[in-house]
Structure 1
Amino acid sequence: MQKPLTFLAPLAFIAALALPAAAQETVKADPSVVVATVGETEITVGHMIVAWASLPQQYQDLPDDVLFEGILDQLVQQTALQQQFSGDLPKRVELQLENELRSLTAGEAINGIMDQPLSEEEVQAAYNEEYSNVEQEQEYNASHILVETEEAALAVVEELAGGAEFAAVARENSTGPSGPNGGQLGWFGKGAMVPEFEEAVVTLEVGAVSAPVKTQFGWHIITLNETRIQKAPALEDVRSEIEMQIRQVRAQAKIDEVTAAANVDRTGAEGVVPSVIKQVTVLE
Structure 2
Amino acid sequence: MPKGLTFLPALALAAALALPAHAEQPTAETVVARVNGQEIKLGHVAIARATLPQQYQQLPPEVLYDAIVEQLIQQSALQQAFGDDVPQRVALSLENERRQLLAGEEIEKIMAGAASDADLKAAYDAAYGEGYEAREYNAAHILVETEEEAKAIKAELDGGADFAALAKEKSTGPSGPNGGDLGWFEKGMMVPAFEEAVMALEPGQVSAPVQTQFGWHVIVLNDSRLKEPPAFDDVREELAGELRQKAVADHVDSLVAAATVERPEIEGLEPGVIANPDLLEN
TM-score, normalized by the shorter chain, greater than 0.5: yes
What is the rounded CA distance, in whole Å, between the counterparts of 2:167 and 2:102 in structure 1?
62
Q: Which residue of 2 aligns with 1:189?
A: 187
Map 1:89-100; keep pairs closer than 5 Å. Answer: 89-100=86-97
Q: Does 1:64 align with 2:61?
A: no
What is the rounded CA distance, in whole Å, between the counterparts of 1:218 and 1:254 in structure 2?
46
How many percent of aligned residue pairs carry the same amino acid? 40
Q: Which residue of 2 aligns with 1:210?
A: 206
Compute the RMSD of aligned alpha carbons.
Answer: 5.2
Q: Does 1:178 align with 2:172?
A: no
What is the rounded CA distance, in whole Å, between the counterparts of 2:215 and 2:107 in structure 1?
54
Aligned residue for 1:241, secondary structure, equals helix
Residues 154 and 212, structure 1, Cα contact 8 Å, conserved in 2: no
Q: Which residue of 2 aligns with 1:5?
A: none
Moved more, 230-239 or 177-186: 230-239
What is the rounded CA distance, in whole Å, between the counterparts of 2:240 and 2:166 in structure 1?
49
Map 1:110-189; keep pairs closer than 5 Å. Answer: 110-116=107-113, 118-130=115-127, 136=133, 138-148=135-145, 150=148, 154=153, 157=156, 161=160, 166=164, 170-186=167-183, 187-189=185-187
User: What is the CA deviation profile of residues 116-154 of structure 1, one whole-angstrom value per residue up to 9, with x for unaligned ones?
Assistant: 485432222233445569873544211123345656954
Residues 49 and 57, structure 2, Cα contact 8 Å, conserved in 1: no
What is the rounded CA distance, in whole Å, between the counterparts of 2:115 and 2:197 in structure 1?
47
Q: Does 1:108 align with 2:105?
A: yes
Q: Alpha carbons of 1:214 and 1:127: their partners in 2 closer, same or farther (altered >3 Å)?
A: closer
Aligned residue for 1:244, secondary structure, equals helix
What is the rounded CA distance, in whole Å, between the counterparts of 1:282 and 1:245 in structure 2?
39
Higher relative contact order (CA 8 A, sep 6+): 1
Q: Alpha carbons of 1:126 and 1:188: their partners in 2 closer, same or farther (altered >3 Å)?
A: closer
Deviation at 1:191, TM superposition (A): 9.1
What is the rounded CA distance, in whole Å, between the counterparts of 1:239 and 1:98 in structure 2?
38
Structure 2's unaligned 5+ residue stretches are 1-25
Q: Alpha carbons of 1:204 and 1:243: their partners in 2 closer, same or farther (altered >3 Å)?
A: closer
User: What is the CA deviation profile of residues 181-235 of structure 1, one whole-angstrom value per residue up to 9, with x for unaligned ones?
Assistant: 442223143893463x5565445442x3637736354554433222123565443
Residues 138 and 224, structure 2, Cα contact 8 Å, conserved in 1: yes
TM-score w.r.t. length of structure 2: 0.56
Aligned residue for 1:144, secondary structure, equals strand
Query: What amino acid is the match of 2:58?
Result: D
TM-score w.r.t. length of structure 1: 0.56
Deviation at 1:239, TM superposition (A): 1.8
Q: Which residue of 2 aligns with 1:237?
A: 234
Residues 138 and 182, structure 2, Cα contact 8 Å, conserved in 1: yes
Q: Alpha carbons of 1:190 and 1:123: their partners in 2 closer, same or farther (altered >3 Å)?
A: closer
Q: Does 1:223 align with 2:217?
A: no
Residues 209 and 221, structure 1, Cα contact 8 Å, conserved in 2: no
Aligned residue for 1:88, secondary structure, equals coil
Q: Alpha carbons of 1:172 and 1:60: their partners in 2 closer, same or farther (altered >3 Å)?
A: farther
Pairs aligned (count): 243
Deviation at 1:110, TM superposition (A): 3.4
